[in-house]
Amino acid sequence: MPPVKKTITIIEAPSNLGLMPPAPGKTPGVNYAPAALKTAQLASRLRAQDGGRVEAPIYNPQIEPETGIRNAAAIRGYSTRLAEAVGRVVKTDRFVLVLGGDCSILLGSALALRRLGRYGLVFIDGHTDFHTPQTTRSGGVAGMDLALVTGNGPELLTNIGGLKPYIRETDTVLLGNRDIADPRTYPAKHIFGSQVQMIPLDKLRALGIDSVIQQMLQKFEISAVSGFFIHLDVDVIDNAVMPAVDSPQPGGLSYIELGRILRGLLTSDLVVGMEITIYDPDRDPDGSAARDFVSALVHIFSTVYE
Report yes or no on 1 lying in a domain: no
Give the pLDDT confidence score for residue 304 in this predicted structure. Answer: 85
DSSP string, 148-166: HHTT-S-HHHH-GGG---S
Q: Can you tell me the distance from the alpha carbon of 74 to that of 7, in angstroms, rounded to the nearest whole number?
A: 31
Q: Can you tell me the distance from the alpha carbon of 235 to that of 276, in angstroms, rounded to the nearest whole number?
A: 10
- CATH number of the domain within which 229 lies: 3.40.800.10
Give the pLDDT confidence score for residue 5 in this predicted structure. Answer: 64
Report yes or no on 26 lying in a domain: yes
Q: Which of 94, 100, 90, 83 is nearest to 37 (CA)?
A: 100
Per-residue pLDDT of the chain (306 residues; tens, 9 = 90+): 344 567 899 999 999 999 999 999 999 999 999 999 999 999 999 999 999 999 999 999 999 999 999 999 999 999 999 999 999 999 999 999 999 999 999 999 999 999 999 999 999 999 999 999 999 999 999 999 999 999 999 999 999 999 999 999 999 999 999 999 999 999 999 999 999 999 999 999 999 999 999 999 999 999 999 999 999 999 999 999 999 999 999 999 999 999 999 999 999 999 999 999 999 999 999 999 999 999 999 999 998 875
Total domains present in the chain: 1
Report yes or no on 3 lying in a domain: no
Report yes or no on 223 lying in a domain: yes
229 bridge partner residues = 121, 273
Q: Can you tell me the distance from the alpha carbon of 104 to that of 101, in angstroms, rounded to the nearest whole number?
A: 8
Domain of residue 110, residue span: 8-305
Report yes or no on 24 lying in a domain: yes
* 268 SS3 class: coil
Q: How far from the centroid of its chain's Cα atoms is residue 9's Cα?
A: 17
Report yes or no on 197 lying in a domain: yes
Report yes or no on 276 lying in a domain: yes
Report yes or no on 160 lying in a domain: yes
